[in-house]
Chain A
Amino acid sequence: MNQRIIEKLKTHFADSIISVNEFREELTIVVKKNDIVKVCQFLRDDEELKFDSLRDVCGVDHYRPEERYEVVYNLYSLKNKFRIRLKVRVEENDIHVPSVTCVWESADWAEREAYDMFGILFDNHPDLRRIYMPEGFEYHPLRKEFPLMGIPGSLPLPRKN
């Protein structure tokens, strides 16, 4: 299955794929940021592959000068009972990623989580709000520079009388 996916993607999206990595039969494909929606649409609609389920969207902070952030898409094909992982690399000064909510509705909350925790902005997302932290919160807690115990005073407590 892995070889078939690589073959198909390489014929259709030769320019969009940055790297392909196979480790213990797990396939990870790094895709160009602006082509992610196109690739996802293809993987979902292709009759043979049919990756009809988006299991999760996660953010990663590598804390390095270039390509600091990463967005990871975990896909699952119910037809083939097969999983792959797509990755997109994001620069710190251009932290926009096209949203895949137009491909899978389930990306909605997962992308909101990645926005809340890492501040990654998903373009064309229908409702990009925080999902865990309170609305007035100003930071993104899973970024490496955020202190473990938080920033004092950033989360107000009720008064104690």
Chain B
Amino acid sequence: MADFSDLLVFTKLDELIKFARKNSLWPMPMGISCCAIEMMAFAGPRFDVSRFGSEAFRFSPRQSDLMIVAGTVTYKMSHVVRKIYDQMPDPKWVIAMGACTSSGGMYRSYSVVQGIDQFIPVDVYVAGCPPRPDNLLKGLMEIQKKIARGEKPGQKEKIYIEETFQV
């Protein structure tokens, strides 16, 4: 009989699924305005989100499980964002990227939704106008931690990523 002890790892099925999910979050790039440029930098070679397994940006909601809402959401657009969120398979996570998405930001006006948490559950809020790509990476890592802890999307406490500056 061969000895398999070097080749086999035993774990719980739950842990294995969590491990797989957290290391291959496929983002749905909901790039609606200038934050989307930083989201592209986050995917590009310098900040390189593929280090965290999320480089596969899917332009179909059916194939993604993390929505990065990057930009100003107007009332007219809110229905589209909600529809795309509804089309994503469970479990699905939402990052509200930037000031506009989280709170309306500088657009304190009749046409802009003052925070997307009014119509979809948000897991991580990333501050900044726009946030630096490394802050968005931190937001992604917080989602990974949530998955590792076994939390359900949009349920437990929200996470707020503060702004950092590169010197």
A residues whose Cβ falls under 8 Å from a Cβ of B:
132-134, 141, 146-151, 155-160
Contact = CB atoms under 8 A, between A and B. Distances in A.
A146 B79 CA distance: 24
A149 B119 contact: no
Point out which of B78, B109, B110, B120 has the most chain A C-beta atoms below 10 A from its C-beta.
Answer: B110
B33 interface: no
B78 A148 contact: no
A5 B21 CA distance: 70
Contacts of B75: 134, 155-157
B76 A147 contact: no
Contacts of B31: none
A156 B74 CA distance: 11
Interface of B: 75-76, 78-79, 82-83, 108-111, 113, 118-121
Nearest to B75: A155
Nearest to A158: B82
Contacts of A148: 108-110
Nearest to B110: A150
Contacts of A150: 109-111
B112 to A, nearest CB: 10
A148 B108 CA distance: 8
Contacts of A141: 110-111
Nearest to A151: B110
A107 to B, nearest CB: 24
A156 B82 CA distance: 13
10 contacts: A133-B76, A141-B111, A146-B110, A147-B110, A149-B108, A150-B110, A157-B113, A157-B119, A159-B119, A160-B121
A132 B119 CA distance: 21
A133 B75 CA distance: 9
Given A133-B76, A134-B75, A134-B76, A157 B110 contact: no
Q: Top 6 A-B pairs ranked by shortest CB distance?
A: A150-B110, A158-B82, A155-B75, A158-B119, A157-B119, A160-B119
A151 B111 CA distance: 10
B54 to A, nearest CB: 26
Contacts of B108: 148-149
Contact of B118 (A134, A146, A151, A157): A157
Nearest to B80: A158
Contact of B120 (A132, A146, A147, A160): A160
Contacts of B83: 158
Contacts of B111: 132-133, 141, 150, 155
A156 to B, nearest CB: 8
Nearest to B79: A158
B109 A149 contact: yes
B85 to A, nearest CB: 9
A148 B111 CA distance: 9
A132 B75 CA distance: 11
A120 to B, nearest CB: 19
